[in-house]
Amino acid sequence: MIGHRLVATSLLFTGDVARSRAHFDHALDLYDRVEHLPLATHFGQDVAVTILCYRALALWLLGYPQAALRDIERVLKDAHEIGHPATLM
């Protein structure tokens, strides 16, 4: 999951937005909140929230503003549920 997130972010910032979205999607498929939430203290924020933030950017750049908005709404919901201060920032 972390590997897909890192590859996706690299692809996004190097302009391969479509491929980045596929890796973001795969990373989210692999994410399990119970198993991966403790990583928030290791990485500074919840991994799924980070993935969704970047995927929203990719979706927007690909011309899917409504899908991007749904991801951001989920980010806000998840961040509040988790209650991890850095994730909320």
**CA count, 13 A, side-chain hemisphere, 24:** 25
**pTM (predicted TM-score):** 0.85
**Residue 38: its pLDDT value, please?**
65
**Integer angstrom CA distances of residue 17 from 57, 63, 76, 85, 86:** 9, 11, 23, 29, 26
Q: Answer left, alpha or beta for residue 46, where phi above 0 means left and psi between -120 and 50 means alpha.
A: beta
Give the model confidence (pLDDT) of 21-78 as tens digits.
999 999 999 988 776 566 656 666 788 899 999 999 999 999 999 999 999 999 999 8
Compute the residue count for the chain.
89
Nearest to 27 by CA among 88, 43, 73: 43
* Domain range list for the chain: 2-88
Amino acid at 78: D
